[in-house]
Structure 1
Amino acid sequence: MRSSERQRVIIERLQGSGRVAVGELVAATGASDMTVRRDLDYLAAQGVLKRVHGGAVPTMPSGIEPPFAARSTAATEAKQAIAAAAVAQIRDGETVVLDSGTTALEVARLLRDRVVTVMPLSLHVAQELIGAPGVRLLMPGGEPRPGELSMVGPLTLASLRSLRFDVAVLSPCAFSLDAGMTAFDLGDAEVKVQALAVSTRSMVLVDGAKWDRAALAYICPADRPDLIITDATAPEADRVVLAQRGVLVQVADRAGAQADELQESLS
């Protein structure tokens, strides 16, 4: 198991239990005791967790946005598959407003060889697209949030209001049928709302770990997007409900071959 995969296991177990033991992680990953301890030390240096005797605990309380470095190593295979499915829905020549976050970063990497116009809502995402030969890059104004480097504030909102896009590609922090799409940061939520308002169609990218969760700031109802792209770990019952409401739900294949669409004809 590669280091990124081991670190993903560590983060997912921390999210589920609030504490992990070295012995538990050795059994889960098949790595040596020393290798697991090195992974824990690395994640502690990134601010993801705090080392305690025999294991680790999360540094961030529940309900607080995990740091970008932590999210960048979580559910990477699912995010890459979701990003590939999203890019397949974008046609050459289209104008795209591309959200911040780690899934959006995977989308940007796949757009480098495409002929599109993109306004990224994050400096991380913008950096990925700089120099791409076929990409026309439009930068919004605003203030980058520390760590996240997502663009927020009145200048970002003004930039969005002055344009119209073919598609908004958004990746919320949390998603549920009851709470809808939500974000941890108020400014980030406001930008996402505006991106939806100025786009002809919308794609929402949300891996299974974000389902049945809610964050502080409301963005829109769960059935507002035209297309939701997720992975097979998303609750099937919720996917069926969304299909009943007329939302196209696409389940991305982690192997990167095909993405199975769930659009059920319900009487």
Structure 2
Amino acid sequence: MSNADRHGLIAQAVRESGTITVQELARLTGASEMTIRRDLDALSAQGVLERVRGGARTLLLRGEEPPFTLRTREAVEAKRRIAAEVSSLVADGETVVLDSGTTCLEIAHLLRRRPVTVMPLSLQAIHAFGEGPGPATLLVPGGQPRAAEGALTGPLTLASLATLRFDTAIMGCCGLSAAEGFTAYDLDDSAVKKAAISAARRVVLATDASKLGRTAHAYVGPATILHTVVTDTTASPDEVTALKDTGSVVKTV
């Protein structure tokens, strides 16, 4: 396991448990306790968690969205597999609106090499398309970036989406279940997601398995609005079956 993958796994375990010991993390990751202590010191210095005697505890409140920089370290390989699958679903020449989030950022790195037209909804993805010359055509919306997230929100973003139509909306999520639908942590972000979905003929949701079965407080829509869901192979079989029963195509990679 790479350092980045181990740090992501530790951060996720701390967030989910609230408080966790060095011994528990060593068993979870297969690393030595000395390595775990160094990891916790490094993650504490980055503001990812709080170091306490014998372990660590989360800095997040219940229901609070983890920081973007933390999420970039979580499920990295799964997100790259998901990105590759989603990219393969997009045909050359398509117009795409691309949501914010870490999985969608991985997708941006792949789509920039394709002859497609893309309007990203985050500063990070816009920057990815500007990294060098490529065949993709970039459309940049207006909007106000969310602090530390870079996701574009507000009336200018909504107006940009209202004037355009897309072949495909590639969306990320904070929570998804067949029963509770597609949810986000932020109300302004939820409004942008709804507008992006309304502007597209097809909706593809890209999410790692940790989001399945979870519910955030800002409702985007029912699971039935999703034509395709792409997730990873650790997804709960029950969640996958329930989503398929809503009519969505579910791909696990």
Above 0.5 in TM-score? yes
Aligned-partner SS, 2:113: coil
Report if the CA contact (8 A) 2:178-2:246 is conserved: no
Unaligned runs of 5+ in 2: none
Report if the CA contact (8 A) 1:182-1:214 is conserved: yes
Report if the CA contact (8 A) 1:46-1:69 is conserved: no
Report if the CA contact (8 A) 1:96-1:169 is conserved: yes
In 1: Cα distance, 2:5 partner to 2:206 partner: 21
Corresponding residue for 2:150?
149
Q: 1:110 deviation in Å?
A: 1.3
Aligned-partner SS, 1:223: helix
Report if the CA contact (8 A) 1:184-1:217 is conserved: yes
- The percentage of aligned residue pairs carrying the same residue is 47
For 2:216, give the aligned amino acid.
A
Corresponding residue for 1:73?
73
Q: 1:39 deviation in Å?
A: 1.6
In 1: Cα distance, 2:177 partner to 2:245 partner: 15
Aligned-partner SS, 1:91: coil
Corresponding residue for 2:188?
187
Corresponding residue for 1:264?
none
Q: 1:192 deviation in Å?
A: 0.3
Aligned-partner SS, 1:175: strand
Corresponding residue for 1:169?
170
Aligned-partner SS, 2:159: helix
Give the number of equivalent residue pairs: 252
In 1: Cα distance, 2:46 partner to 2:241 partner: 38
For 1:20, give the aligned amino acid.
I
Aligned-partner SS, 2:42: helix
Corresponding residue for 1:213?
214
| Range moving further from structure 2, 11-20 or 151-160 | 11-20
Kindly provide the CA deviation profile for residues 23-64 of structure 1, in whole angstroms up to 9, marking residues without a partner as x.
Answer: 222333333433322221222233221111111101001201
Unaligned runs of 5+ in 1: 253-267
State whether structure 2 residue 223 is matched by structure 1 residue 222. yes
In 2: Cα distance, 1:132 partner to 1:234 partner: 36
TM score, norm. by length of structure 1 = 0.90
Q: 1:245 deviation in Å?
A: 2.9
Report if the CA contact (8 A) 2:15-2:60 is conserved: no
In 2: Cα distance, 1:39 partner to 1:157 partner: 41
Report if the CA contact (8 A) 1:47-1:67 is conserved: no
Report if the CA contact (8 A) 2:166-2:201 is conserved: yes
State whether structure 2 residue 239 is matched by structure 1 residue 238. yes
For 1:239, give the aligned amino acid.
V
| Range moving further from structure 2, 61-70 or 39-48 | 39-48
In 1: Cα distance, 2:133 partner to 2:111 partner: 8
| Range moving further from structure 2, 211-220 or 231-240 | 231-240
Aligned-partner SS, 2:250: strand
State whether structure 2 residue 25 is matched by structure 1 residue 25. yes
Corresponding residue for 1:262?
none
For 1:180, give the aligned amino acid.
G
TM score, norm. by length of structure 2 = 0.95
In 1: Cα distance, 2:27 partner to 2:36 partner: 10
Q: 1:13 deviation in Å?
A: 1.6
Corresponding residue for 2:160?
159
Report if the CA contact (8 A) 1:103-1:205 is conserved: yes
CA distance change for structure 1 residues 244 and 31 in 2, over 3 Å: closer, same or farther?
Answer: closer
For 1:216, give the aligned amino acid.
H
| Range moving further from structure 2, 36-45 or 139-148 | 36-45
Alignment of 1:84-99 (within 5 A): 84-99=84-99
